[in-house]
Copies of this chain bind each other. A is one copy, B any other.
Amino acid sequence: MLTAAGLRAATVTGVRRLVLLTAGHVVAPDDPDGALHGNRRYAGSLPGMAAHPLLDDLRAALGDAAVLTDPDLLAGHARDEADLCDSGTPLAVVRPRDTDEVVAVVRAAGRHGVPVVPQGARTGLAGAANAVTGAVVVSTVAMDAVREIDPVGRIAVVQPGVVNAALARAVRERGLWYPPDPGSWESSTIGGNVATNAGGMCCVKYGVTSEYVLGLEVVLASGEVLRTGRRTAKGVAGYDLTRLFVGSEGTLGVITEVTVALRPAPEESLTLVAVFPTVAAAGGAVAGIAERGLTPSLLELLDRTHLRAIEAYRPMGLRTDAEALLLAAVDTGARAADDLARLSEVCIAAGADEVYAATDATEAAALLQARRLAHPAMERFAAETFPGGNGGLVIDDVAVPRGRLAELLDGVARIAQACQVPIGVVGHAGDGNMHPNIVVDRADPGSLARGRRAFDEIMRLGLDLGGTCTGEHGVGLLKRDWLAREIGPVGVRVHQAIKAALDPAGLLNPGKMF
């Protein structure tokens, strides 16, 4: 493994040649753009895939039942939930059951020069798990064992296919808590959460996935098994390889085991809702909350578009006349009531029309559930906005310094008006991490173009405000150009150098991220 990178060629599926460049780029010979902008999607007809000799190797190693080539099934594994992203048709989907089987798959694919695309539950929103035509998709869903829960060490050891909610419930039974809670938590896998460094609503106080990953087992492009990190609370032995793999979107290795840190089960929390006459006023309240040194355990913003979409999707008496709503929670035990009062003061000072506390846990849970419905509710809203069900949703993700949140919200409103597309805004206001959701008519090229323009203008605004092009959804295929703009040419070269060092043939999830 880890041989010096060099120019080499590999035949993929016997149809076209991919030229593998030193930096892990995979470009079709007729796609010079790929050499400049990274690894472009390989697309083409693929006669004869069913007879690819790699399939025999895979079946020999995993058994027939774990190697899927049914066209419907392949199509079902073509993509994650991101819009605006291309995807290809894989040669096969394999479902290894353990690390040895992953090693066998990666080694076999390497021998045949075939790309490998890891997939969890395909709930990602950046196309990072999208299939590459002719690749082997490694689905980790059959690797779903919770191997260990240690209440004293406050760690759990799990296979990558364990669903976030399943881990959360398993540790809760032991009085422990796994905080990262992406919107997809009921279906997304820990492996996918780690590969994308997933965020969620708890992050504002408790941090994102990478804060909870202590160690990993990873199958490298060479087929070697790397163990990173530790089981201890602290450790500084060597480079932080664990965090290099967290968020690397499957481009550096296939994660086969995860050791996570846990916390004691959270205390009871109190929840507050503040209703604002403008989204910018809500943004101002977020800055005020930070400035006052308050640390809510949840601080979410929903704009009017989302409030209406959620109320239409599941009526629950939300204030659909409000321009924006802030949902906050505090969980500092005996101090909670004091903290809630201080939050309330800040919201009123920032211009809130009305502030009320949830009367009990049931009401608080209902408010949280409303927030969790934002995504499906907006998808329904988008679908119904245009005739024939052609409405689609481009889910964006941008983070700015908390103090610039009001400017971001104002700017998104301006962009919506200028581009003549509906944009609703929802997100983790306490982190300055918002999801402007752009409604487009998939059947109308003009609408798609305006949506794309709005998307780009939001990205540009985010960077101009000192922010980042992705707060939690990742780069995948959706934001490669924006990543390059954010990190600059030196940053891109360092990414390419690390990729080439660990995956010299560029076979691991090619074309993603950069």
A474 interfacial by beta-carbon distance below 8 Å: yes
Interface flags for A346-382 (1: CB within 8 Å of B; 0: not) read 0000000000000000000000000000000000000
Task: Give A232-261 interface residues, CB cut-off 8 Å to B.
Answer: 232-241, 243-244, 246-248, 252
Are A473 and B232 within 8 A (Cβ)?
no
A432 interfacial by beta-carbon distance below 8 Å: yes
A42 interfacial by beta-carbon distance below 8 Å: no
Q: Which residues of B contact A196 (CB under 8 A)?
A: 236
* Stretch of A111-119, A203-211, A303-311 with 4 or more beta carbons under 8 angstroms from chain B: A203-211
Interface flags for A286-309 (1: CB within 8 Å of B; 0: not) read 010011011100000000000000
> Interface residues of A toward B: which range?
35 or more
Are A290 and B236 within 8 A (Cβ)?
no
Report the Cα distance A293→B493, complex, angstroms: 45
Q: Which residues of B contact A207 (CB under 8 A)?
A: 211
Q: Which residues of B contact A204 (CB under 8 A)?
A: 233
Integer count of this chain's copies in the complex: 2
Least CB distance, A491 to chain B, in whole angstroms:
6
Q: Which residues of B contact A514 (CB under 8 A)?
A: 238
Are B493 and A233 within 8 A (Cβ)?
no
Specify which of A176, A238, A265, A401 lies most central, judged by the most chain B CB atoms within 10 Å of its CB.
Answer: A238
Task: Give A473-502 interface residues, CB cut-off 8 Å to B.
Answer: 473-475, 479, 482-483, 486-488, 490-491, 493-498, 500-502
Specify which of A22, A176, A243, A433 lies most central, judged by the most chain B CB atoms within 10 Å of its CB.
Answer: A243
Are B232 and A468 within 8 A (Cβ)?
yes
Q: Which residues of B contact A441 (CB under 8 A)?
A: none
Interface flags for A142-169 (1: CB within 8 Å of B; 0: not) read 0000000011111100000000000000
A137 interfacial by beta-carbon distance below 8 Å: no
With contacts A238-B483, A239-B244, A246-B240 known, is A431 near B233, CB below 8 A? Answer: yes
Which residues in A have some Cβ–Cβ distance to B below 8 Å? 1-2, 4-6, 22, 150-155, 175-176, 196-197, 199, 203-204, 207-208, 210-211, 220, 224-228, 230-241, 243-244, 246-248, 252, 263-265, 287, 290-291, 293-295, 332-335, 338, 399-403, 428, 430-433, 466-475, 479, 482-483, 486-488, 490-491, 493-498, 500-502, 513-514
4 closest cross-chain pairs (CB), A and B: A264-B293, A152-B403, A501-B501, A235-B468
Please list 10 pairs of residues, one from A and one from B, whose beta carbons are closer than 8 Å in the complex, sorted by A's number: A2-B494, A152-B402, A199-B234, A208-B236, A227-B490, A233-B399, A233-B402, A233-B430, A334-B334, A498-B498
Q: Besides A236-B468, A238-B514, A240-B240, 7 other CB < 8 A contacts?
A: A1-B493, A196-B236, A197-B236, A224-B490, A227-B487, A231-B467, A240-B244
